[in-house]
């Protein structure tokens, strides 16, 4: 494989593009909005600069990585002549199904179609294509350049050959690919999201406050980040979406999202992305801007 297309220039998409480009692949980063592409490239550049300042990479490596990335607002142009497409659009079933229908009609028959979905059925996505054996899940973890795990999810029809190809490819990226089966939430979110949801229930029921809950989990369970802070970083809307997928898939009340989470999402308090969730990030961003003016 030489050329990879990444659909979506958001947090996960630009991270995936960064990792492929840094490892010598030609990357086509595709998004419907030029502003999103510009923001994605700025994020990649900022992350490379951080690595450069820590002597993790050289100036030449940074230059090569950026030169390996081309941007496209046209899906047809962006996925032309690619060996693998990794879809990293928003976690919405209808959007993903439409993207895969379009990809199936545009891409060469040899092209492998992967999705970075964190919870949606690979089998369901593959069913809208004429190549279900070439559809697979590649669930990267955030932040992509740092986190080692990639969940490799086989759909019902995903071939052994495609699975091996994607597993080997993930290893070449310096990741640890782990094969899992196609059930709602896979492994990571099937375990993580109920824990986050229970932390929200604990807050909702008045057992303890936000900082107290996170402190117990950090100091008592050796978690690097408390579950409520982690939910803010993931995005409360994303957490809600994943819980709804699992609740719909399993019909088990233990996956039902806490009413507090539902209300916060409806109120637009989505975590870091909206500057407010369980924590208030507005002040820290103001301080960061002021600090940058003096540095």
Query: Is 11 known as a binding-site position?
Result: yes
Tell me if 150 sits within 8 A of 170, measured CB to CB: yes
* CA distances, 237 to each of 146, 181, 196, 241, 261 (Å): 23, 25, 13, 6, 9
Query: Is 12 known as a binding-site position?
Result: yes
> Of 189, 197, 241, 274, which one is the catalytic site residue?
189
Query: Is 10 known as a binding-site position?
Result: yes
Query: Is 163 known as a binding-site position?
Result: no
> Of 28, 36, 151, 241, which one is the catalytic site residue?
151
Tell me if 179 sits within 8 A of 190, measured CB to CB: no
Q: Which sign, positive or negative, has the C-alpha torsion 262, 244, 239, 197?
A: positive
Query: Is 118 known as a binding-site position?
Result: yes
Query: Is 96 known as a binding-site position?
Result: yes
Task: Give residues with Cβ within 8 angstroms of 68, minimum separation 6.
Answer: 20, 21, 22, 24, 25, 26, 27
∠ Cα 164 102 181 (to 5°): 35
Query: Is 40 known as a binding-site position?
Result: no
> Of 118, 119, 121, 274, which one is the catalytic site residue?
118
Query: Is 160 known as a binding-site position?
Result: no
Query: Is 155 known as a binding-site position?
Result: no
Task: Retrieve residue 222's tokens.
Answer: 């050796």
Catalytic residue at 139?
yes
> Of 139, 170, 274, 276, which one is the catalytic site residue?
139
Query: Is 141 known as a binding-site position?
Result: no
Q: In the 8-state DSSP scheme, what is residue 127?
A: T
Catalytic residue at 189?
yes
Which residues line the annotated binding site for NAD(+)?
8-13, 31, 91, 96, 118, 142, 273
Binding residues: 8-13, 31, 91, 96, 118, 142, 273
Question: Which residues are part of the catalytic machinery?
Answer: 118, 139, 151, 189
């Amino acid at each position: 494989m030489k050329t990879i297309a990444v659909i979506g220039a958001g947090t996960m998409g630009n991270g995936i593009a960064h990792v492929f480009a840094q490892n010598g692949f030609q990357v086509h980063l595709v998004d419907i909005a030029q502003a999103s592409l510009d923001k994605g490239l700025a994020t990649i550049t900022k992350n490379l600069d951080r690595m450069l300042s820590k002597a993790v990479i050289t100036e030449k490596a940074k230059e090569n990585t950026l030169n390996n990335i081309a941007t496209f607002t046209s899906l047809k142009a962006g996925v032309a002549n690619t060996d693998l497409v990794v879809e990293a659009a928003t976690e919405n079933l209808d959007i993903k199904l439409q993207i895969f229908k379009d990809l199936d009609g545009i891409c060469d028959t040899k092209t492998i179609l992967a999705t970075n979905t964190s919870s949606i059925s690979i089998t369901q996505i593959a069913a809208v294509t004429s190549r279900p054996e070439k559809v697979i899940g590649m669930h990267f973890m955030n932040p992509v350049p740092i986190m080692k795990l990639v969940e490799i999810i086989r759909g019902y029809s995903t071939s052994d050959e495609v699975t091996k190809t994607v597993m080997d490819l993930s290893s070449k990226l310096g990741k640890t690919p782990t094969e899992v089966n196609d059930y709602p939430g896979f492994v990571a979110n099937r375990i993580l999201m109920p824990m986050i949801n229970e932390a929200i229930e604990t807050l909702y029921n008045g057992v303890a406050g936000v900082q107290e809950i996170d402190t117990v989990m950090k100091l008592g369970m050796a978690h690097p980040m408390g579950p409520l802070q982690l939910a803010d970083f993931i995005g409360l809307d994303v957490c809600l979406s994943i819980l709804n997928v699992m609740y719909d898939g399993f019909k088990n009340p233990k996956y039902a999202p806490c009413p507090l989470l539902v209300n916060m999402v409806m109120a637009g308090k989505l975590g870091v992305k909206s500057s407010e969730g369980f924590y208030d990030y507005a002040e820290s961003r103001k301080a960061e801007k002021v600090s940058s003016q003096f540095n």
